[in-house]
Amino acid sequence: METMKRRHFLALSAAAATVSRSKAAEAETPLVSFGLTTDVQYADADPQGERHYRESIPKLKAAVEDLAKQKLPFTLHLGDMIDRDFASFAKILPLFEPLGHPVWHLLGNHDYTIADERKISVAATLGMPADHYGFTVSGVRFLMLDTNEVSTYKHPEGSKEDLEAEAAMKAMGSANNAKPWNGGTSPAQLQWLEKELAAADAAKTPVLVCGHHPLLSEAGHQAWNNRDIIKLIESHKSARAYLCGHNHAGEQVVSNGVPYLNFKSILHEPGVTAYAVVRLYQNRLVIEGRGREASREVPLREWE
């Protein structure tokens, strides 16, 4: 009888251990994984200093080949697909097709270094549903901001929006981000962001907020109204992190538990790439970097 009890105890213990291992494995499964590139900034132009425009083509081809092997649901590109000339889009965008999955784009300042009459077509050319928008994959919400909405380059010269942006930049005085290659969001877009994050809080939906311009650090690359955006992000626990490009050197800052991750541009150093596979877990982001983009694990704030 004792032998039978012992066998029964061992069987139960083994079953419990199996369940425990299963739960542990489940906990280690990422909520979502995706590819990430930024600032491809292609142009059919000779190098200028550190910027090797034509090299973006072979480097992007190699990145796409690698990301396609990872069996990811989608890839993000965080703005500045081209450096100049509307015709550049037709040369660079088809290189993403071998991925075999969607590419979700952001608008960047260099995407508007084109003729005024073409500016209205940029978002549609990139296949974007709107200049700012959201989408959901595997229960994770992605909010794609347009940090160029208020800027001196997005709108035709002399237009109402252009003149208002010129006045806004002048009103910033000597602020280090009062630069014509930076921009910001309108009050209406901030209201949209607030509404989205409040809904995500209520639904317990994790959110990654994405924009072209950094919010932190405040070294001069940040969006014009970065502090307004930061205030919204940090007041909503559903916002897990902010992802951006623009500053080609990259940077990582944590404020009140929120990581602000500036990814490096693929543009620099011939033969040296920069892109990543990003995996979101409940309590951390794992970045599997390639080339200049470092691999790292980024803790996330508690969310009850």
- How confident is the model over 156-213, as pLDDT tens digits? 999 999 999 999 999 999 999 999 999 999 999 999 999 999 999 999 999 999 999 9
pLDDT at 183: 98
11 pLDDT higher than 70 = no
- Region of 281 (left: φ > 0; alpha: ψ -120 to 50; beta: rest) is beta
Distance CA 192, CA 133 (A): 9
Mean pLDDT of 103-122: 98
pLDDT confidence bin for 303, thresholds 50/70/90: confident
10 pLDDT higher than 70 = no
The identity of residue 276, as a single letter, is A
For the record, the structure tokens of 17 come out as 């251990």
Closest CA to 258 of 243, 272, 248, 270: 243
* Predicted TM-score (pTM) above 0.95: no
pLDDT at 24: 43
pLDDT in tens, 15-65: 444 334 334 434 589 999 999 999 999 999 999 988 999 999 999 999 999
Instruction: Please provide the CATH number assigned to the domain covering 31-299.
Output: 3.60.21.10
Closest CA to 63 of 52, 75, 49: 75
Strand partners, 286: 279, 297
The domain spans of the chain are 1-29, 31-299
Closest CA to 269 of 292, 250, 287, 290: 292
Which residues have CB under 8 Å from 279's CB, separation 6+?
Answer: 30, 32, 33, 285, 286, 287, 288
pLDDT at 122: 98
73 pLDDT higher than 50 = yes
Mean pLDDT of 86-90: 98
